[in-house]
Amino acid sequence: MADVRDAGDVVSGRPPAGPAGRVNGRLHGKEKRMRLHLVAAATAVLALAAAAPAAPASEPPTSIGGGGAAATVDRLATQAATDTLRRGGNATDAAVTAAAVLGVTEPFSCGIGGGGFMVSYDARAREVTTNDHRERAPRAMRPDAFFENGAALASNAARYSGLSVGVPGTVRGWARELRAHGTISLAEALAPAIRVARRGFVIDATFAAQTQENLDYFDDVPATAELFLDPDGTPRDVGTVFRNPDLAHTYELIAQRGARAFYRGPIADTIVQTVQSPPVAATANHVFRPGVMDARDLRTYTAPWRPPVHSTYRGVDVFGMGPPSSGGSTVAEALNILEGYDLGALSRADALHLQLEATRLAFADRGEFVADPDFHDVPLAGLISKDFAATRRALIGETAAASPVAPGDPSAFEDGAGNRAGEASATSTRVGTTTHITVADKRGDVVSYTFTIESTGGSGLVVPGYGFLLNNELTDFNFDSTTHPNRVEGGKRPRSSMAPTIALRDGRPWLGIGSPGGSTIITTVLGILVERIDRGSTLPAAIAAPRASQRNTATTVAEPAFSESPEAAALAARGHQFSPALMASGAREIGAATGIEFLTRHGLLAAAEPVRRGGGSALVVRPDR
């Protein structure tokens, strides 16, 4: 999260940049190797700092009051959302406004070069809707697109390329949501972000660390280097001001012409050129493979409405995102498994054992059956069936199962749906990035919105002249398989783990929650729900609790506070093995959740992470005094 406390006082202007191509800002041969050693040393220092207990966030991670609320990882985004609510906008207006600001302040996690999923509750209609603006594979993509000489590309070779870029859906999704549920125009929603992009914000350690982990690829791409690196080829310094006038201009074009400005015309043409011929420097030390996106892929992109995944847990109605996201179905299946136990009456160690085993089983089924429903017959009704969950629950013993466990057969609980075979997900173990926004307004509307450019820094390709990174979402396919349901296919959307969630109690909104974190999103959202519902934790405590994530792998990734707990020792005695949750930047953390709870006396509690990813920001329109 960027530290933006003084951003309003920053004078507008373009940051200093080296000459075109940044040749003088690059080091080569022995000098470059020396710089990389220094970078590695600096990264190690950052890793040690991230592993140590961090000071509480300077911005409020929890607020209570009325009139509406918002929670994000960034103060400027949260403030923009609550300002929108204060001016009479609704939750959809505020969510899109905050998202546009995050595209400026969190460019390595999200933005208009990516996509996402939005779950919305309309208080007047008493209805939950979901918007899928997940990136889509270009029409020319084939199952062997990431293969060379008969073998799949290595992860970074696939990621840092034009080949990994899916057709971005964010702008289309924002425009469609505002037309359907908003009260302001797209131009009004973009206005705060334009101001932030021009005035700038102060770079913090998280931003610098995220730049650092991409440095060896960013400096291969002149447009990326000019935006994110200093003239000497190093990350912009902590405490300096970051401005993005090119992105401000891009937002202005979209404000003037709507989503059409992004999907047709100069922006679209430059996206296509960047994907098809990645603009790397002649001295680049990596190969950025060309992609196959064309103008028609952008022009014909759609952001469809999808039915929400609806399940119940101890009398609470839980709504999540359906396929191509696996978030809603996997959270629902794990909750259904756990519903057979009285978790609140068990010791924390016993309850955690059941929780880890439930997600182990649910992830086996996720990996086998969930993919884009337009290309694959997903047995969704079977996966979220209480009876299917009972068959999976029966497999849980007193000790940890050995992963990978086999998937179940939801077809017996589905009207004729077949069982599909497939390999384990290539992305099932990634911690990952992304960002999440939770907003509620005074009339009771709620928006839970997760969006992303996939890995931290996406494909590494900034669209020249327009100031945003393109995603690497196509590596979220099982790109190393030509037979898996989640294999690459033209026009297909890769399976996601994003799990924006809204929970109703007695027919009224109660919780809105979500998190970034790659495939750990699912276990993070599940853990917050279990902490809040079964253990009676407050929402802030549930968000702050130490985390572990079991995703049908041999070891369970865990944060230091979890690994060092008495519960972890008790779980180890039952056969659970733990490994560090380690981001590429060195941060030993899982997720960066936000949430809003509707209190019994018509107030709102907004909560964000107190420490993870630099701490978040949660605000209400009218704070309780």
Helix axes 348-369, 520-533, angle to 10 degrees: 140
Secondary structure, 3-state, 548-580: EECCCCCCEEECHHHHCCHHHHHHHCCCCCEEE
Q: What is the DSSP string of 49-63?
A: HHHSPPPPPSS-SEE
Q: Where are the alpha helices (DSSP H) in 440-563?
A: 520-533, 539-544, 560-563
How many angstroms separate the CA atoms of 295 and 531, rounded? 47
CB atoms closer than 10 angstroms to residue 368: 26
408 phi/psi in degrees, rounded to 5 = -90, -165
Q: Is 325 exposed, middle or buried, given 0-12, 13-18 or 19+ CB atoms closer than 10 A?
A: buried
Helix axes 327-338, 520-533, angle to 10 degrees: 40
Catalytic: which of 62, 97, 434, 438? 434
Residue 280: closest CA among 208, 200, 224, 239: 224
Contacts of 279 (CB under 8 A, 6+ apart): 221, 222, 223, 273, 461, 464
How many angstroms separate the CA atoms of 396 and 338, rounded? 11
Question: Is residue 502 helix, strand or coil?
Answer: strand
Question: Is residue 344 helix, strand or coil?
Answer: helix
Question: Is residue 334 helix, strand or coil?
Answer: helix
How many angstroms separate the CA atoms of 495 and 458, rounded? 17
Secondary structure, 3-state, 151-220: EECCHHHHHCCCCCCCECCHHHHHHHHHHHHCCCCHHHHHHHHHHHHHHCEECCHHHHHHHHHHHHHHCC
Residue 597's region, left for phi above 0, alpha for psi from -120 to 50, else beta, is beta
How many angstroms separate the CA atoms of 109 and 534, rounded? 32
- Site of tokens 């034009």: 162
**Catalytic-residue membership of 434:** yes
CB atoms closer than 10 angstroms to residue 23: 13
How many angstroms separate the CA atoms of 489 and 137, rounded? 7
How many angstroms separate the CA atoms of 603 and 64, rounded? 7
- By annotation, the residues acting in catalysis are 434
